[in-house]
Amino acid sequence: GTQPQQQQQQQQQQRPMRLRTRITISILSAMLTLSYVVSGALRVLGKFIKTFTNTTSVESSFEAAAEEVGVNEDKLRNKMK
């Protein structure tokens, strides 16, 4: 039985590659999530400013921004599924 030993060696050689792939994938998905969060935050900010300049009422600006945050969270949740 030298064959099981050879298979073990091959698996050990493959493992670092798989780990690197896993790290790359997690970094990419983190960047993707971050970009969604950032673009969502910018959209919220933009909506807040737009509503604020239109109404000069902080309350309705916050309401509009909060709505946009809710929409973004739903989008994120759908992406994660």
Residue 64: its pLDDT value, please?
Answer: 78
**CA–CA distance, 52 with 71 (Å, rounded to integer):** 19
- Token pair, residue 71, equals 């929409």
The closest alpha carbon to 36, from 54, 28, 22, belongs to 28
Angle between helices 3-55 and 58-80 (to 10 degrees): 160
User: pLDDT class for 76, splitting at 50, 70, 90?
Assistant: confident
Q: How confident is the model at residue 23 (pLDDT cuts 50, 70, 90)?
A: very high
Q: Which tens digit of pLDDT belongs to each residue from 25-50? A: 999 999 999 999 999 899 988 888 88
Residue pair 15/47 in contact by the 8 Å Cβ criterion: no
Residue 57 banded pLDDT, cuts 50, 70, 90: low
Indicate whether this model's pTM tops 0.75: no
Map residue 2 onto helix, strand or coil.
coil
